[in-house]
Amino acid sequence: MIRPMLEGDWEAWKPLWDGYLHFYRMQLDERTTRSSFTRLCAKEQGMLGLIALDERGAGLGLAHVVFHASTWTSTSYCYLEDLFVAQQARGTDLGRQLIHAVYAEAERAKSARVYWHAQQYNAQARSLYDQVAHPTSFVVYQR
């Protein structure tokens, strides 16, 4: 089951978030993690969290999106900031289902575009992304 995150999902969400951060070799302080979780559940600042749960309520995957204004449309864009599937659910098509759930949320919000970034070395994820979207010619810069 994939649905919007609720405050009661902390125990299911936190191991997924930790796994996602571990994959990217990142660490965040507890305050940032708690703040992000709260905003994702409350749909604050354009943020929305989706969580995939098994029949017992254990977390299998997450998708975090940010809806934002754009100078290129009168509606919004939907940025898929985080996507993660737990090891035990990989190969089950859950990643594709989470992306399609994001697409559905973007359609409800009348977003003109859904986009995300992918690291070049993440071939497994990119093989899925190539099936559900198309790459662009843009290069991401950051400071």
> Residue 1's pLDDT band (boundaries 50, 70, 90)?
very high
The pLDDT score that the predictor gives to residue 91 is: 87
- Structure confidence by residue, pLDDT tens digits, 65-123: 999 999 999 999 999 999 999 999 998 999 999 999 999 999 999 999 999 999 888 88
How far is 9 from 11, CA to CA, in rounded Å? 6
Our count of domains for the chain comes to 1
- Structure confidence by residue, pLDDT tens digits, 31-72: 999 999 999 999 999 999 999 999 999 999 999 999 999 999
Beta bridge partners of 62: 51, 84
46-78 as b/e: b if 16+ CB within 10 A: bbbbbbbbeeeeebbbbbbbbbeeeeeeeebbb
- Determine, yes or no, domain membership for 143: no
- Determine, yes or no, domain membership for 52: yes
> Residue 8's pLDDT band (boundaries 50, 70, 90)?
very high
- Structure confidence by residue, pLDDT tens digits, 130-141: 999 999 999 889
- Determine, yes or no, domain membership for 45: yes
The pLDDT score that the predictor gives to residue 140 is: 87
- Determine, yes or no, domain membership for 113: yes
- Determine, yes or no, domain membership for 141: no
- Determine, yes or no, domain membership for 25: yes
Domain extent, residue 113, equals 2-132
- Determine, yes or no, domain membership for 138: no
- Determine, yes or no, domain membership for 139: no
Instruction: Kindly report the CATH number assigned to the domain that includes residue 60.
Output: 3.40.630.30
